[in-house]
Every structure is written in C-alpha cells, then in structure tokens.
Structure 1
Amino acid sequence: MSASFAITNARLVDPESGHDGPGGILVENGLIAQIGEELDLNSADEVIDAGGKVLAPALIDLRASKEPALTPDGENQSSLAAGAAAGGFGTVVLAPNEHSPLQTAGGFAGMTRALGQHGVRVLSAAAATQDLAGESMAEIGLMAKAGAVYVSNGDNPIADTRVLRRVMSYASQFDLWLSLRAAEPGLSCGAVATESDWSARFGLPSEPTMAERIAIDRAASVAALSGGKLMVDRVSTADGLAAIRDARKRDIEIAATSAIAHLTLNEVDAGGLDSAFRVDPPLRVEADRRALVEAIAAGEVDAIVSDHRPTPFDDKGEPFAMAIAGTLALETLLASLLALVHDEELSLVEALRPLTAGPADLLGLPQGRLTTGAPADLVLIDGDTPWVCHPDDFHSPRGNSAWAGRRFIGRVTQTFVDGQSIYNYNG
C-alpha cells in the first residue's frame, strides 16, 4: 500500500463511539490521519472507493489456538495468520492449551517472535501454572516482561484455592487478567454435553449450567480476597451471566468473554452427534444462547472470541463422546455474527464492539477504534454478499468446522494492519 491512502464512500462503524454513518478515512504512515465525510484527498497517493461497504476497526480475537507443529500437514503460523486476515482480524491472541502451554519465558519469547512475521498482530497469553494442572505457578513475571497480555490455564481449572489466590495476586502485580474457564471440576469433569433432556436421552456425560455459576462465584471471591483481575473465559450460560452480574455489584474487577459457537449454535445443532459440534464449554440450550446475545447487546460481555481450534482428523473423527473438543472459527466468526444482525437480534455496532473496542480496552491496546492517531487496523465488510461455508476453501489445512455447509450473508473484502493491506478478497 501507499504511505498515504484514503478510503471513501464507506459506511463508517466505530463501536467505541457508537457512530454508524457515511464517511471515509485518510491513512498516513500507518495511522488514521482523518475521519469523516469531507477528507483532504490532496495528500492521498491512492483513493479506494468502498462502494458503500462497512468500514470498521479490524477485529481482535482474545482466544485463538494453533495446532502444535507436530505433523507437516497441520496448522502452522502462516495458515493461522492467513485465516485470521481473511476473517477480518488484525490482532489475535494465542491462548495456552495442553499442547502449547506457553509456560516458560524462553518458549514464550520464541513463539511470539516467530508469529510476528505474518502481517496480523499475534500476541500471546501466558500459562498460569507449569503443567496446566494447577499445582504450581509458571514463570508469569518473566512472560509478562516478554509481552504476555493475560494469564490463562486453558480449559483446565486451578483446583487448589491457595494456588488460585497466589496466581491471581501475582498476575495483578503486572496488571494482567487471569482468564479462567468457569467449570466446577466435580460437576464438569469428563462432560461432553450440557445437562438436558437431549444429553440424558443419548446417555452423554453432561455438565449442569450451575457448574459454571459455582466456579465463577468461587473465582470472584478469590479475586475479592487477592485484589486480582478475573476474566471469565467463554461464559456460556444464563447462570454464569447472573454470577458475573452479582460479582460486579460487589465491585470486583471482572470481565467476560463468550465464544462465537455459544452465540450462534445450541445443543439442537449437535443433535446428530456430529463431532464437529463437540466444543468446550459444550453447546447449551436455546435459552442460554439467547441470554448471551442479550448480554452482548447490553454490553455485559466484553469480548467475543473465536476459540479457533484446528484438530487432526483422527482426533475429530472419533464418536461424539470421544472426539477432541474444538472447531475452526476464524474465517466464519464475522459471518456467523452478521446472521444475528440480519435477524435483528443485535445491531451492527453492538455486534462489533466486543470484537474491537471491547477487547482493546481489556488489554490496553491502541487499535480497535476509529480515531485520529490510532493504528490503521481496518476491515472492509460487504454485508450483502451471500456465500456457503466450505472448509476446503479455508486457509487452515484442517476441516473441523461446525458451520460447514452453512449459508452466510456478508463477508470480509479487505483487511489492513498498520495501513498495510494483508488480505484482499478477489471473489
């Protein structure tokens, strides 16, 4: 791209300010130099006519995960970054998992250096404990100095309350959130479905929604005791949302994320026991899905995450109860969310805020907003283009998508990071 360019004739959507109207943007040296309907185009080396497309901040994903590079045909750094760019993401955060725990400062620094070469801004979270079993702390301080943006234990609970208190207190010294998947181990261990008539009918190990509330109540109490910052990772139930509201009434510093799967799918989608719908937390009932969407509209959920997890066929090809949890989501997240906008469950501003300004505010990032002086991380969206999800067309070599075969309306046409075009749909 030119050092200076303008995008005109766009529908400007800035979730931070709530603005949604016509206009354009002038970019100079990687920063937003001017915004509005009247731009000084004399300094622009190039002018892009958006043709009425939506122009918004590039998306930010607080929870993506790449498959460990154990096989030559698996997800790698390049495919992860390419999929993120195609999905409209300018920033993604790698979350720890059992295969890539990011538990030492040396491994953490090497990972982030390697991933910083692919256009998309790739940040990383640090593991909370050394083995993700919750028994002893990882090198949180060293990883914080190396650039960790929050602390997480992946899908694993920290069962020892003393360790949880220590981790939360120590992370707060570096102003880092501790992100926890809220699930009471005694009620959720081994669960592959939510507790319901459906899971009972198939005899599936299930997790009651109260397991999420109990875990949030416990973690919030530890946050109050330690003065730590608690991020509830992938809240998925109305009970969990109620626990978060109660914690906020107590002035506990608590944030919440929700995965795109739980906003757009429910247990009925998994009715055929297709392992593509085996996710963690498990898909919930429709009442929980609706409660999450209402919480997004009310601003009670700070970030929507992809929880992107490429999985090998051998692991995903097992029967539902034995299959590894996870779905591809980077390249379909925005289109899935736009379906809620088309169905008038959310406005466009409400849908985009937890993908832009919301996560940016949580991590203190300058991107995620349309303001002069901010990084020119931008996305152009054609909200009316129909397409069908074919995982074979994804940048990821894996095909485990819960949205395979779905018909969508709306897709990303161009993504910019620091004023550089990193994706351009040629359709």
Structure 2
Amino acid sequence: MTTLFANAKLVDPVTDSTTEGWLLAQEGRIAATGTGAPPKAPAGSTVIDCTGACLAPGIVDLGVKVGEPGERHKESFKTAGKAAAAGGVTTMVIRPDTLTPIDSPETLEFVMRRGTETTPVHIAAMATLTRSRAGREMSEIGFLKDAGAVAFTDGDHVLTDPRVLARCFTYARSLGALVIGHVQDPGLSGGGCITSGKFATLRGLPGVPPMAERLGLERDLALVEMTGARYHADQITTSVALPALRRAKDAGLDVTAGISIHHLTLNTLDIGDYRTFFKVKPPLRHEEDRLEMVSALREGLIDILCSMHTPQDEESKRLPFEEAAAGAVGLETLLPAALRLFHSGDLTLPALFRAMAMNPAKRLGLDAGTLTLGAPADLVLFDPHAPFVLDRFKLHSKSKNTPFDGARMQGRVRGTWVAGLRVFE
C-alpha cells in the first residue's frame, strides 16, 4: 500500500498554494511530499504519473442525503458511494432526514454499518436534533454522540418553538455537540417555491422573500449567544443574511456557515420555463445574491461549500413546478461545478478545497481534508481543464435530478483514493 504520485500539481488548502511536486502515500497516510522531481520510488510501490494534473485532498461533503432507510428507490449507499468516488468525494457526511429519521442509536448504528459495508468512501453521520424531526422532544443527543453522530440537525424541518430549541442548544453545548440549523423562517417561506421578485411574479409562482433567511438566522444566533452552543448554518444564500453572520463571528460566537454549489453557480433565472430540476430548497436566488455569496466564500465569511445532494425520483420531479419535490443530486457535479468559479477567476483552487475539504473536516472534528504529513491519504486527482458535456444518465446516482444536465463543464476526476486505496479510475 505504497503509492508515489509524481508530476502533480499539489493543491494545499493549508498553505494556500498550488505547487508542482510529488506525494508519497504509505500505509494509508501521507508519508512525504516535495517539489520538483520525485525521489526514487520504494521497492514494490505503485507509481502514478499525474502528467501535470491536480492532486488535492478528498472532498468532505457535508449534507448528503442517502435514501436508506426507507427510500432506496431514490438512492442507496451503494449508488451514492459510487457517485462520491467518481466525484472525488472521500467522506460523505450524511443527513438524518431519511424516511425513518436517524433519531436513535439503533438507527444510527444501522446506517453506519450499512454505509461502511457498501461504500468505498468514508461515512460520517448526523442525527436529528428532535425525535422524528417533529420539533417537540429532544433526541437522545448524548447517546447519539457516543454512538458516533458528528452533528445534530432537523434538516429543513425548522424548529418553531424557541424554548425547545434553547433547551437543545443548552444540552448540546454541555456535550460539545455541533448543531446545524436550516435558517428559513417557516412563516415567510412556507408554501413558496421561488425567490420573490419580478421573475416570480411573471411566472405566477408563490415567492419566498430573502428576509425569511435573515429572520431565521437572527433567531438562531440570538439563542447561540444565550446558550453558547456550537452552531453551523447549513446554507446562507442571500446578501441580507450576511451582516448578522458577520456580527456573530466578530462577537466571538462559535458559528460557521455553508452554502450549496447550486446556489453558488446558478440563479433564479435558470428556472426558465418551470424547469423542476432547478427547484431546490431554499430556492435559487437573484444573481446579485449569488455574487455576494461568492465574495463571502472568498473572504471566509462563509466557511463550507457542499453539494446538498438530495436525490428525487422522476415521478416527484415530473410535476408542475409548485408541486414538484425540491432537491438536486450533486456528488458527481460538485467539483466540476465548483471549478466554474476557478475558471472565472473568482476563487483559487486552494480556496475551493479549503471550503470543500479542510473546513468541513475541521468543523466536524474529522481527520481529513489536508495534504499535511501524517494525514490520511484521501486524495483526488483531477484535470481542471478537461471539457465535457454532462449527461445525467451517465451519473452513478440512482436518481438523475441534476440541474447541470446538458451543461458544458470543465474538470474531470482522474482518480480517487481513500486511505491510500484507489476507489475510482
């Protein structure tokens, strides 16, 4: 299990650099790196000539939905694992919003065992904050954390009772557990399917005002200030929410924020003539908001970039826009879509992998996301300039609901390694 990667461009989010060099992986970990010509390969090792392609830490995708248990017809661990490996994702952090929610140690143990047995990549699991995501009774956070849950969230079921949420925050703080919130005020966002504005009016669709996100975030941050909890906002997508996030960070609160690749590279006009593959939650935003989010990610105000992989079957998407299910697959499209920001000059490669690999691993306490000596040899080798046209039927995911179907993209994964073992070629 010794592999020498030669003639690579090493993308290091720790040093914020891209350098031509080599990397030696031994016994599942990074044993050495260097610039220039590689050393003589150890006896019996495998030599990979990268021919100038980029070698980066494997992506840690925070917020992947897998259909098990309950919705295997949408996505199984087997198909999700293949999609992750093909997309350069070496750790899937799965969401608990399954048909049978992950709200007990037994369900968590089943999910972890099932994922470990059937996927070639690492699995980390989140658990629900309240039982059945109903917002009434706190989950067994202590037992779930002991069983391996890396964070707690009710997903897009926003907890409406601030007293219950405060109790959850207080208990989570006492255990050092991370709480992840979906910052949308349900009173303003309920029933909406598109960001409010002129385009929504022209299409005759019920809108969601951007202020719904700010109200949801302000409430959660106030409770974080009161309880001292560790908190992560799963998706910040509007410019009106950024000042509250900045104030919280400046005040020293233990707060981070994320965004999905769809909100960072698409806007509400992409919906066009009611194209339901572009229906996500929260809805796609105006172009001005998208540009503000790119700037926020570049400066580090937004910390994490993820796919928010949400598989939906054809039957739930082939409906009128207002009735169609929200969500899009993203495990395989996260990297090439993110490279749009690199090719446009908005973000460097180290900045992208800081948001996709290093920061999520650090926030969740996972040993991953860097090229430092001794780190796990979870790696992705990719050509950022390789062009292709995306065909959704060639995706490994069981569901094919991607907004990038037919899109011209740049950036192909040439290989993925997990603990030094090649899992995709």
- The amino acid across from 1:141 in the alignment is G
CA distance in 1, matches of 2:229, 2:398: 39
Query: In the TM superposition, what is the alpha-carbon distance from 1:74 to its structure 2 partner?
Result: 3.5
Is the partner of 2:4 in helix, strand or coil? strand
Gaps of at least 5 residues in structure 2 are: none
**1:70 deviation in Å?**
4.8
**Structure 2 residue identity aligned to 1:22:** E
Structure 1 pair 305–98 and aligned structure 2 pair: CA distance change class (3 A) = same
SS in 2 for 1:308: coil
- Aligned residue in 1 for 2:375: 374
Q: Are 1:256 and 2:257 an aligned pair?
A: yes
Q: Deviations over 1:184-206 (max 9, x none)?
A: 11111111111111112222221
Residue aligning to 1:104:
104
**TM-score (normalised: structure 1):** 0.96
Is the contact made by 1:57 and 1:356 (CA closer than 8 Å) also made in structure 2? Answer: yes
2:282 matched residue in structure 1: 281
Report the equivalent of 2:196. Answer: 195
| Contact kept? 1:128, 1:151, Cα under 8 Å | yes
Contact 2:193–2:205 at 8 Å: present in 1 too? yes
Q: Does the Cα contact within 8 Å between 2:69 and 2:111 map onto a contact in 1?
A: no
Partner amino acid for 1:92?
M
**Is the partner of 2:133 in helix, strand or coil?**
coil
Give the letter for the 1:348 counterpart: L
Worse-superposed segment, 4-13 or 38-47: 38-47
Does the alignment pair 1:405 with 2:403? no
Q: Which runs of 4+ in 1 moved over 6 A?
A: none
Matching residue of 1:143: 144
Q: Deviations over 1:72-124 (max 9, x none)?
A: 74421100000001000000111121524201110111111110122200111
Matched residue SS, 1:224: helix
Match of 2:32 in 1: 34
Q: Does the 8 Å CA contact 1:61/1:91 hold for their aligned counterparts?
A: yes
Q: In structure 1, give the amino acid aligned to 2:380.
A: V
Report how far residue 39 of structure 1 moved. Answer: 4.3
Aligned equivalent of 1:77: 77
Distance in 2 of aligned mates of 1:158 and 1:71: 24
| More divergent stretch after superposition (245-254 vs 51-60) | 245-254
Shift of 1:149: 0.6
1:50 equivalent in structure 2: 50
Letter in structure 1 aligned against 2:84? A
Task: After TM superposition, give the deviation of residue 42 of structure 1 in Å.
Answer: 4.1
The amino acid of 1:346's aligned partner reads L
Are 2:67 and 2:73, in contact at CA under 8 Å, matched by a contact in 1? no
Contact (CA 8 Å) 1:5, 1:48: kept in 2 or not?
Answer: yes
Aligned counterparts of 1:400 and 1:193: Cα–Cα separation in 2: 18
Q: Give the letter aligned to residue 59 of structure 1.
A: I
Instruction: Tell whether the 8 Å contact from 2:68 to 2:111 is kept in structure 1 after alignment.
Output: no
Distance 2:217 2:89 in 1: 29
| Structure-1 separation of matches of 2:29 and 2:72 | 38
What residue number does 1:95 align with?
A: 95
2:315 matched residue in structure 1: 314
Partners of 2:173 and 2:120 in 1: how far apart? 31
Contact 2:130 2:136 in 1 (8 A): yes
- Matched residue of 2:85: which SS? helix
Q: Does 35-44 or 115-124 show the bigger shift?
A: 35-44
Q: What is the CA–CA distance in structure 1 between the aligned matches of 2:356 and 2:314, rounded to whole Å?
A: 30
Amino acid at match of 1:202: R
2:207 aligned partner: 206
Kindly indicate whether the alpha-carbon contact (under 8 Å) linking 1:83 and 1:331 is maintained by their aligned counterparts in 2: yes
- SS in structure 2 of the partner of residue 127 of structure 1: coil
Gaps of 5+ in 1: none
C-alpha offsets along residues 268-317 of structure 1, whole Å, 9 cap, x if unaligned? Answer: 10121111011001000001100111111111111111111111111111
What are the superposed Cα offsets for residues 343-395 of structure 1, whole Å, 9 maximum, x if unpaired? 11211122221011111110122210001110000000111211111111011
Instruction: Summarize the Cα distance change of 1:123–1:21 in structure 2 as closer, same or farther, 3 Å threshold.
Output: same
Instruction: Classify the secondary structure of the residue corresponding to 2:424.
Output: strand
| 2-structure distance, mates of 1:365, 1:312 | 32
Q: State the shift of 1:17 in Å.
A: 1.6
Length, aligned pairs only: 422
Q: Post-superposition shift, 1:397?
A: 2.1
Matched residue SS, 1:245: helix
CA contact (8 A) 1:98 1:132 kept: no
Stretch of structure 1 that moved more, 408-417 or 32-41: 32-41
Q: Residues 221 and 248 of structure 2 are in contact (CA less than 8 Å); yes or no, is this contact kept in structure 1?
A: yes
Decide whether the 8 Å contact of 1:199 with 1:205 is kept in 2: yes
Correspondence list, 1:142-221, <5 A = 142-221=143-222
Distance 1:42 1:186 in 2: 62
Amino acid at match of 1:15: P
Three-state SS of the structure 2 residue aligned to 1:7 is strand
Q: In the alignment, what sits opposite 1:325?
A: 326
Asked whether the equivalents of residues 67 and 311 of structure 1 are also in contact (C-alpha less than 8 Å), the reply is: no
Q: Aligned residue for 1:114?
A: 114
Q: 1:159-217: CA deviations, max 9, x gaps?
A: 11111111111122232211111011111111111111111222222111111111111
The answer on whether the counterparts of 1:98 and 1:154 sit within 8 Å (CA) in structure 2 is no
Q: Is the 8 A contact 1:6 1:41 kept in 2?
A: no
Q: Is the 8 A contact 2:193 2:206 kept in 1?
A: yes
Shift of the 191–231 alpha-carbon distance from structure 1 to 2, 3 Å rule, reads: same
Identity score, percent: 35
Structure 2 length-normalised TM: 0.97
Q: Secondary structure at the match of 1:231?
A: strand
Q: Give the Cα–Cα distance (whole angstroms) in 2 for the partners of residues 42 and 183 of structure 1.
A: 53
Q: Check conservation: 1:58, 1:88, Cα contact below 8 A.
A: yes
Q: What is the aligned partner in structure 1 of residue 270 from structure 2?
A: 269
- Matched residue SS, 1:25: strand
Which residue of structure 1 aligns with residue 223 of structure 2?
222
Code of the aligned partner of 2:273? G
